[in-house]
Amino acid sequence: MIHPPTLWAFLALADVVFAVVVGIGIAARPREGVGQWSASLGVRALSFMLFAAGLEPRAGALAAAAGLLALSMTLQAGALLAFDRRALPTWVHTAVIAAVAVPVVLVASEASTAILFGGLVFGTLLAALALLAWQRPRARRGFGRSLLAACYATASIACLARAIAAALSSRPLAVFDAAAGGQALGFLAASAAAVASSFAFLLMHKERADAQALRLATLDPTTGAYNRRTFHEIAEREMSRARRAGQPLSIIMVDIDHFRVVNEKHGHRVGDEVLARLADTLRASLRKEDMLVRYGGEEFLVLLPDVPGPGAVVVAGRLRKAVAATEIEVEAIKLALTVSAGVAARLDEGPESVDRLVARAEEALGLAKSRGRNRVVALSLGRSIAA
């Protein structure tokens, strides 16, 4: 058996502590939606305090508590949308408060009706929050978001079940004086979900920070292509796999023709945007399993697993034509660029290494540039595995 007013007082204290801790975190490092989440905890603490202070259906206090609880839920909805870089219209908060508080005033004198209405309304709001938390694709959802959705769903079910059971009881307010059995489990489940939801929201931010850290460690921030260090790690594994399976492996080295002129004439900021747009053009012409790497200032490298030398020459030609056909516009500046490409493939004679493969691709690139640029040159493809 549990005493609900005591439980609500504990939840109010827990929310206040969480709100203070999260508020300190906001001051140190603002994050998407954290401010609204902290505000929701403070508002919810006030609501729980009102519920804990007295359970008789006094219209004013009951409506205030219900309105504050509804506001805490819309603030959490706003926090979730802010996490996804979206916004909840301000009028939604006012509309939900009015939609909850006004009917509560009207039915406050009928305990069973008030409890049923409150349970249905808050259960529905929690179900909507669960759907909002769950809406992301599985690959992008993460454990924190899934846990938050589960917390909302648990609280929604407990709220609906408790309201229906209390409304059907001959003494509907008795369950709020002392709850036992299934009603006690419902209170505990909803309370645990309320506390766990804050942990889940903070976990969502941790997962995003970890993903951003991984991105910074593996990708070039300007172009979104893999960086040079990550390329060598992956290329060594691909080379070992190709040797064991006797499969082809090719590399294309791509260099932007006369890119220095772009930087000198328009500045490095425009140059960086041009690099990002060109990387998008190259990426659009590759398979998912191909690896685009920013290898140097204006040099890109493409790793082609399971592609023989002649096939790599075809891919390089497709990349060259795609760039030549794309006019890049940055800040009202229109640029027509071309690229030169060097192709090398893994050979089946003698020991082979990633460094030797890259060196041959660089040599081929040098020949392409010396022969007039905007062309593809391949080296040592005649004896490649699948030539």
Average pLDDT score over residue span 108-133: 84
Average pLDDT score over residue span 130-148: 83
Q: In the predicted model, is pLDDT for residue 169 greater than 50? A: yes
* pLDDT tens column, 302-343: 999 999 888 999 999 999 999 999 988 888 888 889 999 999
State the Cα–Cα distance between residues 254 and 295, nearest whole angstrom. 9
* pLDDT tens column, 185-225: 767 777 888 889 988 998 998 888 888 888 888 899 899 99
State the Cα–Cα distance between residues 257 and 340, nearest whole angstrom. 7
Q: Considering the chain, what percentage of its residues have pLDDT values greater than 90? A: 40
Q: What pTM does this model have?
A: 0.71
Position 383 scores a pLDDT of 42
Could you tell me the domains of the chain? Answer: 4-218 (1.20.1070), 228-379 (3.30.70.270)
Mean pLDDT of the chain: 84
* pLDDT tens column, 77-99: 999 999 988 999 999 999 999 98
The tokens for 136 are: 């992301």
Runs of H (alpha helix) within the chain: 4-28, 34-53, 59-83, 90-107, 111-134, 138-168, 181-218, 228-245, 259-266, 268-284, 309-324, 354-370
